[in-house]
Amino acid sequence: MSLRRQGSHFLAIGVLQYLVDWAVTVWLSHMGMAIEAANVTGRICGALLGYWLNGRFTFAGEDTAMGRVQFQRFALLWLGTTAVSTLAMSAIDDMLGLKSAWLAKPVVDAGLALVGFVLSRHWIYKR
């Protein structure tokens, strides 16, 4: 599959995944949950959707799979990016407030998405 096609699928799925993540994070933090816990919960919801859709459509091919090994790789990447995202959200909340953290989340997660695309294409879904 071409880089252009994978990139466009990853972007479209990423937007959907991100909307789920962001909505859950904002809703839970608005309801009183700490931003750190809300961010982790939002990322779990978005990640599960993204793992399945990207494995099924974006990176599907003869040299790819969606099994235990691929999910373990995905989980490792997710843990790392979630730690970075959560630390960033916490720091922004501490320095600038909750509404600034809500606004900064797309910027933080866009940078992490680039890392996720490269690793998904070359490592996570490979057999």
Q: Virtual CA dihedral for 3, 40, 33, 22, nearest 10 degrees?
A: 0
Burial of 45 (0-12, 13-18, 19+ CB in 10 A): middle
Residue 119: pLDDT above 90? yes
**pLDDT the model gives residue 39:** 86
Q: Where are the domains of the chain?
A: 3-124
How many C-beta neighbours within 10 Å does residue 122 have? 10
Give yes or no for a contact between 82 and 45, defined as CB atoms under 8 angstroms apart. Answer: no
Residue 1: pLDDT above 90? no
**pLDDT the model gives residue 86:** 87
pLDDT tier, 105 (very low <50, low <70, confident <90, very high otherwise): confident
Average of per-residue pLDDT across 59-65: 93
**Could you give the residue ranges of the DSSP H alpha helices within 31-67?**
35-53
